[in-house]
């Protein structure tokens, strides 16, 4: 791009000389790495993730931070729906049976006609909804506050315990913060009906791991988890072997769609900065 100089720095070692108008840290990096920006002349930090939990504790004063909204929603929604189909139709069981040559054609629950509660109705939640509706599901949307839109009611989180018992599948895609840490606790899980499926594509600490282990180990609930607490999940952790649990290693956004979308966002930000305009996706300060 004309008028742009690119510099490589991994936030370790001495910082490049001069002002950094735009800094793009590595994907899935720890927020603590941003402490390296103290005393560095940085205009905008462009994250490669949607979530920004923990960033405010390490971002130096005066530095603007933008997330990657618009980059990961489609891939995360794809995975969420894929995990629902896999869990409902028993695909993990079929894969295991293939290894032993076992022919088990027992009927499994469908995704069609299920009542699905979306806890979190931001970009990811909306992308999941768009993919769920063609599967003939009944989707209920829930956000921090209630509102009406062209599809009807988006329920507020204050109605959570009224809605949980009414849905066979609950999908969590809320950002991690004080209000959502351990949101999925023993009380939350106990309110879900027997045999229900919990899908977590938010952050691991949004769920209480011990409560998850208790409900899934008993066989009362099932879970499809792209995120866990801790991460990586230790090899001997009971979640790995709990019945009805499907785990993917935090790969919701890690698809071939990510790189070109991230490049487009970075190019857009550079163009805005060159034109003297405000960048998009600013979430801090």
pLDDT of residue 55: 97
Kindly report the pTM of this predicted structure. Answer: 0.94
CATH code: domain of residue 38 = 3.40.50.720
User: Is residue 26 domain-shared with residue 119, that is, in the same domain?
Assistant: no
Q: Is residue 96 located within the same domain as residue 201?
A: yes
Domain that holds residue 155: 73-247
pLDDT at 239: 98
Give the pLDDT score at 74: 98
Say if 117 falls within a structural domain. yes
Structure tokens at 185: 């606790």
Task: Assess if residue 104 is contained within a domain.
Answer: yes
Strands 245-247 vs 197-200: parallel, antiparallel or unpaired: unpaired
pLDDT of residue 195: 98
Any domain includes 3: no
Q: Which two tokens stand for residue 213?
A: 């282990």
Beta strands in 67-212 (DSSP E): 115-119, 138-143, 147-149, 152-156, 169-172, 197-200
147 and 176 co-located in one domain: yes
Same domain as 228, residue 134: yes
Do 229 and 182 lie in one domain? The reply is: yes
> Which structure tokens are listed for 45?
């930090």
Is residue 171 within 8 A of residue 116, CB to CB? The reply is yes
Residue that is written with structure tokens 């504790």 in the block? 57
| pLDDT the model gives residue 103 | 98
User: Could you tell me how far CA 241 lies from the centroid of its own chain?
Assistant: 23
Residue 11 lies inside a defined structural domain of this protein: no
243 and 102 in a common domain: yes
Residue 13 lies in a domain: no
Q: Are residues 24 and 112 in the same domain?
A: no
Secondary structure (3-state) at 253: coil
Instruction: Clarify whether residues 101 and 49 are in a common domain.
Output: no
- The low-confidence residues of the chain, meaning pLDDT below 50, are none
**pLDDT score recorded for residue 3:** 82
pLDDT tens digits, 212-269: 999 999 999 999 999 999 999 999 999 999 999 999 999 999 999 999 999 999 999 9
Number of domains in the chain: 2
Let me know whether 155 and 175 are in one domain.
Answer: yes
Residue 10 counted as domain residue: no
Say yes or no: 67 and 78 in one domain: no
What pLDDT is stored for residue 1 in this prediction?
Answer: 77
Please check whether residue 1 lies inside any domain of the structure: no
- 97 domain-assigned: yes
Same domain, residue pair 123 and 82: yes
**CA proximity to 46, closest of 275, 267, 277:** 267
Model confidence over 3-17: pLDDT tens digits? 899 999 999 989 999
Distance CA 157, CA 18 (A): 46
Q: Are residues 141 and 174 in the same domain?
A: yes
């Amino acid at each position: 791009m004309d008028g742009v100089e690119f510099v490589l720095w991994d936030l370790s070692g001495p910082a490049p000389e001069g002002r950094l108008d735009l800094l793009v840290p590595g994907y899935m990096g720890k927020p603590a790495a941003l402490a390296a920006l103290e005393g560095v002349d940085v205009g905008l930090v462009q994250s490669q993730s949607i979530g920004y939990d923990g960033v405010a504790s390490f971002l130096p004063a005066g530095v603007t931070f933008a997330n990657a909204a618009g980059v990961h929603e489609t891939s995360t929604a794809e995975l969420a729906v894929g995990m629902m189909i896999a869990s409902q139709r028993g695909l993990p069981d079929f894969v295991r049976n293939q290894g032993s040559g076992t022919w088990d054609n027992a009927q499994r629950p469908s995704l069609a006609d299920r009542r699905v509660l979306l806890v979190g109705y931001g970009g990811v939640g909306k992308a999941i909804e768009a993919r769920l509706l063609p599967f003939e599901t009944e989707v209920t949307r829930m956000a921090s506050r209630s509102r009406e839109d062209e599809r009807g009611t988006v329920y507020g989180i204050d109605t959570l315990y009224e809605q949980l018992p009414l849905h066979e599948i609950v999908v969590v895609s809320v950002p991690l913060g004080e209000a959502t840490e351990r949101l999925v606790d023993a009380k939350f899980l106990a309110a879900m009906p027997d045999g229900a499926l919990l899908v977590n594509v938010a952050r691991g600490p949004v769920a209480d791991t011990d409560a998850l282990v208790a409900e899934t180990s008993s066989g009362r609930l099932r879970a499809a988890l792209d995120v866990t607490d801790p991460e990586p999940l230790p090899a001997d952790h009971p979640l790995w072997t709990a019945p009805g649990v499907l785990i993917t290693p935090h790969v919701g956004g890690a698809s071939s769609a990510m790189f070109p979308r991230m490049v487009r966002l970075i190019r857009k930000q550079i163009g805005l900065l060159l034109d003297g305009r405000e960048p998009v996706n600013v979430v801090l300060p």
